[in-house]
Amino acid sequence: MAFQQRRRVQFSETDAAGIVHFANYFRYFEDAEHALWREAGLSIHPAQSAIGWPRVSASCDYHRALRFEQEFDVSVQIREISRRTITYEGTIASHGEHVATATWKIACVTKLPDGTMKSADVPHEIAKRLKPL
């Protein structure tokens, strides 16, 4: 499954030089990830859910800078769903040029009464709707 959205750099996302701060790229990818779930008729964080999806790894390679008011496209696709994790690939591009590429992995966990988390299997209904490309 894949999802793409167009965005525009907001002033609050930039540093003093008008360049997007590196941490905001992860926000762009995460927003697109959640939109991908909505496209599949799901929510990554439904109310009263017994499971959660913490990030267990993330990496991003930056190829070009994004600047204030620049339009760009964020693409996210599911690379793999294992028994307990989902791995994504993402790309940010502007005017046909790659700006950033990323991979990240989320784990399915159950929330225990004491506030800790325990690894859990990805529910079948979620895996069925979020098929890797």
pLDDT digits (tens, 9 = 90+) for 55-112: 999 999 999 999 999 999 999 999 999 999 999 999 999 999 999 999 999 999 998 9
The predicted model scores a pTM of 0.93
Q: Which domains are delineated in the chain?
A: 2-129 (3.10.129.10)
Predicted confidence (pLDDT) per residue in 114-127, tens digit: 989 999 999 999 99
Helix (H, G, I), strand (E, B) or coil at 108: coil
Contact between residue 61 and residue 100 where contact means Cβ atoms under 8 Å apart: yes
pLDDT of 120: 98
Q: Give the percent of the chain with pLDDT over 70.
A: 100
Task: Tell me the mean pLDDT in the region 22-51.
Answer: 95
Positions annotated as catalytic residues are 15
Cβ partners under 8 Å of residue 39, min gap 6 = 1, 3
| Residue 29 scores a pLDDT above 80 | yes
Contact between residue 62 and residue 22 where contact means Cβ atoms under 8 Å apart: yes
DSSP 33-78: HHHHHHHTT--SS-TT-SEE--EEEEEEEE-S--BTT-EEEEEEEE
